[in-house]
Amino acid sequence: MPRKPSNLVYGVDDIPPLRILLVLAIQHIFFLTAGLITAALIAREIGGTPELVQSIVCMSMIAGGIATILQALNKGPVGSGYLCTEGIDPTFVSCSILAGLTGGISMILGMTVFSGLLECLISRGINRMRILFPPEVTGVVLTMVGLNIVPVMISNFFGISGKEDAVQPANLFVAAATLAGMVGTNVWSKGKLRFYSVIIGMAVGYLAAYLLGVLKASDLERISQSPLLSFPDLSHIGWSFSPLLLVPFISATIASSLKAVATFTMCQKINDSEWKRPDLNNIQRGMLADGLASVFGGLLGGMGQSLYAGSVGLSAATGTTSRIVAFVTGGMFITLAFLPKMAAVFSIMPKPVMGGALVFMVSFMVISGIQIMTSRMMDVRKTFVVGISLMFGISADIFPGLYRNFHPLLEPFFSSSLAVTTLLAISLNLLFRIGIARREVLELEPGVDSSQTIFAFMENQGAAWGARGEVIQKAKMALNEFFESASHLGIAEGKIVAEVFFDEFNLNITIRYQGTPVEFSDVLLEGEALLDDENAFINLSFRIIQQYADRVESEEKDGQCRVLLHFDH
């Protein structure tokens, strides 16, 4: 049972008051509307009319709302049960534009459905593919998901469109005021005011933008001119498919799927103070919902949907991860698709306001990625996986045309910093696994070897395997306790052989020796019973071993003694 961290006021199973629910849902919708810019961008790039843009945006909102509700389900085969909203992801921008230029909007919708079905298929085998996403891979991908937003974040924060644009003081002041409102409320506020940190910051930003002329009267007129109620136009809906687009959409789907693994891992971590390892069954259900989100997007005439990792950062920042917030957010997002006047309030958000909010949100995402990366012992192999993946991933943003002349079949894998990082992290992880033995043997000779031999062996192997530090600590203390007891009591004749086996979920130490068998009892002797027992020292020592290990077994056959120490990983 997950244990709610102390920094969360409302955990995933809690139900906040109605007023808090509504405000938190509005904050999530503010972030989701940023993804609608991506839908408009794709539609315009393929020559879409304003009416087509509006229809695609509205249908994308409906698909996103349905997917967000589906993702929050915690019973049945679909849904992670977490507050993790679904929106339009930049990962699919390049391949969607390519599909649109190849076969129009129907090609985008058809390939989007294909991408969603592919992720659904990947989710079914996620338990067998856990070798592809150890913590250093999921952590580096999640970190890059946050860093991937930085170019958009900075351009919005300073209110610029390109490198040659000059920064206007008014834009900088609006962004700084927005960020200050969010950070100040989050850090120094008392009580439940922290829940409203994002909306307070945005309100400060809107006000500053209006007073400084960044938000103009013509923008406000857009609200008054929008109809109160309208139904989206569905005439653009149609589907087509092209085998020539398989490679770019498969590569984008793989990158999005790995990002989903990292995002669900982040969800699990921030909702459980005793988090140890990713829950693959939960990730499987969440990925299935994420894949169905894109299927819905394509079928309804909108863009593909993907996990909006920023919502996880937002929920961590506000201290509320209740899944009820997801249900309210999804319902409100669907409603906005039929209420253009309300949607216009979000559509006129000044760029500096969005930029300030993104700085606030990305800070939590990047730090969570780093924490996941470092949740395992880092050796030189993992250092290279993380370092090389990050550096070359960032290069795609620093030098946008760096990978432009690659072979057409390879170009999709280098289309963005996230794609480069994902490809390198997976490839290097598999490459550096070569030569790592998952089973090692340590021979110990009583009276000759010391505790330092055990400590050095276990620490070196733990780093090579990427094991959790606390598990290695327990294992080396348990093995050392057995070795010292066996040495002092003379129960072993000759060498003691310890065979250590590791996988992602288990660490087993099988100890073999010739000599006197030992028995591990669950009965703890106390007081006079302990003093009267001639084997009191042996029982106490082995009782200590049982406190370190999650399971202990012992047996003896033909003078060959065997002790198994099992540790959950």
Q: What is the mean pLDDT of residues 472-498?
A: 87
Angle, CA 220 vertex, CA 183 and CA 47 arms, to 5° = 95
pTM as predicted: 0.68
- What is d(CA 403, CA 330) in angstroms, rounded to the nearest whole number? 38
pLDDT digits (tens, 9 = 90+) for 77-109: 999 999 999 988 666 766 787 888 888 899 999
What pLDDT does residue 173 have?
Answer: 94
Q: Is the pLDDT of residue 363 over 50?
A: yes
What pLDDT does residue 119 have?
Answer: 93
Amino acid at 490: G
- What is d(CA 98, CA 348) in angstroms, rounded to the nearest whole number? 28
Burial readout 80-107 (b: 16 or more C-beta within 10 A, e: otherwise):
bbbbbbbbbbbbbbbbbbbbbeebbbbb
Nearest to 73 by CA among 266, 257, 293, 273: 293
pLDDT digits (tens, 9 = 90+) for 115-167: 999 999 999 888 777 777 787 887 888 788 778 778 778 888 998 877 777 88
> What six digits make up the tokens of 241?
């498919």
Q: What is the helix (H) or strand (E) element at residue 442, kind and residue range?
A: strand 439-444
Q: Which domains does the chain have, with CATH numbers?
A: 18-376 (no CATH), 439-568 (3.30.565.10)
pLDDT digits (tens, 9 = 90+) for 183-235: 998 888 776 677 778 788 888 998 999 999 998 888 888 778 878 888 887 88
Burial readout 479-512 (b: 16 or more C-beta within 10 A, e: otherwise):
bbbbbebbbebebbeeebebebebebeebbbbbe
- What is d(CA 154, CA 177) in angstroms, rounded to the nearest whole number? 15
Nearest to 258 by CA among 368, 140, 415, 151: 140
Residue the block writes with tokens 């610029």:
160
Burial readout 234-272 (b: 16 or more C-beta within 10 A, e: otherwise):
eebbebeeeeebebbbbbbbbbbbbbbbbbbbbbbbbbb
pLDDT digits (tens, 9 = 90+) for 23-71: 889 888 877 876 676 676 677 677 777 677 778 888 888 999 999 999 9
- What is d(CA 299, CA 519) in angstroms, rounded to the nearest whole number? 64
Task: Indicate the average pLDDT of the chain.
Answer: 83
**Confidence band for 521, pLDDT divided at 50, 70 and 90:** low
Number of Cα atoms under 13 Å in the Cβ half of residue 130: 14
What pLDDT does residue 534 have?
Answer: 47
Q: Is the pLDDT of residue 387 over 90?
A: yes
Q: Is the pLDDT of residue 240 over 90?
A: yes
Q: Is the pLDDT of residue 347 over 80?
A: no
What pLDDT does residue 376 have?
Answer: 74
pLDDT digits (tens, 9 = 90+) for 273-304: 877 777 888 999 999 999 999 999 999 998 88
Q: Is the pLDDT of residue 545 over 50?
A: yes
Residues 519/539, Cβ–Cβ less than 8 Å:
no
What lies within 8 Å, CB to CB, of 400 at 6+ separation is: none
Q: Is the pLDDT of residue 178 over 50?
A: yes
What pLDDT does residue 463 have?
Answer: 81
What pLDDT does residue 535 have?
Answer: 55
